[in-house]
Amino acid sequence: MIERRGEAIVLRAWPFQEADLLVSLFTREQGRVKGVARHALKSRRRFGGALEPMTHVRATYAERPKQELVRLDAFEILSSPLSRSVDYARTAALQMVAEVLEELPEGVVDDAVFRLALAVMDEMQVGRMWMPVTYFALWMNRLMGWMPELAQCGVCGRDLRGGAVWYSAAADGVTCADDRRAGSVALSAASVMLAARMFHATVKELGAEEWPRSRGADLRRFAVEMLERHLERRLVSARALGRI
């Protein structure tokens, strides 16, 4: 048996065999891990409120050879989403981070992804979630290698810097207006420039600016649709945010 202790983000938890809980974590050192929290429904001594989704914890757990589920022994809360005000929009935004991490391909272990998740979670506050949601979706595409080049038409090679680009959620790359595919959607020149800013600034720096829902809305849609294309599933939490 291998004993481990390290930082993790709780993604979700659900009942499993009587008083136990099955818990999905995204760990800094091993990526996604699933484990059993024994008697968690009856005793709060070892876990307390640490099993709430999107809680940042220091987890102690044990692995057995050839077993998929680890044994969760204890969680120490490092930060909790419940320490700040919560409303429907903030809950959906936090859930989007959890949903994307939960759906990443098997074997993804990336400290940059872990740090990104923590940074955007810290900026997601009631009434101020649109920028960190956009930032997270955009950067996840980049870190996973799914972000298309926005400066050049993927068909004719035309330089697209300074103008709008066209993209399709069903195809790779972006195009100029002349080569746009059927069903393509425009990403405005302002949002292309905004994407470049997001790749050169921290989420905390950008969080000092005013970000109404309308700012970068087409960029947010673009980033979410790119994620959905490569994850091969609709993001329920993103759709919930879209209805606000």
Residues 78 and 115 grouped into a single domain: no
pTM (whole model) above 0.85: yes
User: In this predicted model, what pLDDT tens digit does every residue of 111-129 receive, in sequence order?
Assistant: 999 999 999 999 999 989 9
Domain final residue pick, 38, 60, 82: 82
Residues 47 and 103 grouped into a single domain: no
Is a pLDDT exceeding 90 seen at residue 10?
Answer: yes
Domain count, the chain: 2
- Please give the pLDDT value at position 45: 64
Task: Quickly state the pLDDT bin for 107 (edges 50, 70, 90).
Answer: confident
Domain that includes residue 230, residue range: 84-242
Residues 103 and 198 grouped into a single domain: yes
User: In this predicted model, what pLDDT tens digit does every residue of 149-192 receive, in sequence order?
Assistant: 999 999 999 999 999 999 998 888 999 999 999 999 999 999 99
What are the C-alpha distances in Å from 164 to residues 94, 179, 205, 222? Answer: 30, 13, 25, 13
Residues 110 and 155 grouped into a single domain: yes
Segment 13-31 mean pLDDT: 90
Over the chain, what is the mean pLDDT?
92
CA distance linking residue 11 with residue 128, whole number of Å: 22
Segment 130-150 mean pLDDT: 96
CB neighbours of 65 closer than 8 A, spacing ≥ 6? none
- Please give the pLDDT value at position 44: 63
Residues 74 and 120 grouped into a single domain: no
Residues 101 and 76 grouped into a single domain: no
Task: Quickly state the pLDDT bin for 90 (edges 50, 70, 90).
Answer: very high
Domain final residue pick, 82, 102, 118: 82
The Cβ of residue 220 has, within 10 Å, a number of other Cβ atoms equal to 23
Residues 29 and 129 grouped into a single domain: no
Residues 73 and 91 grouped into a single domain: no
- Please give the pLDDT value at position 48: 74
Strands (E), the chain: 2-16, 20-27, 31-37, 56-63, 70-79, 165-167, 174-175, 185-187
Strands 2-16 and 20-27: antiparallel
CB neighbours of 156 closer than 8 A, spacing ≥ 6? 175, 176, 178, 179
Residues 148 and 202 grouped into a single domain: yes
Domain final residue pick, 82, 115, 143: 82
Residues 59 and 172 grouped into a single domain: no
The encoded tokens of residue 124 equal: 């997601």
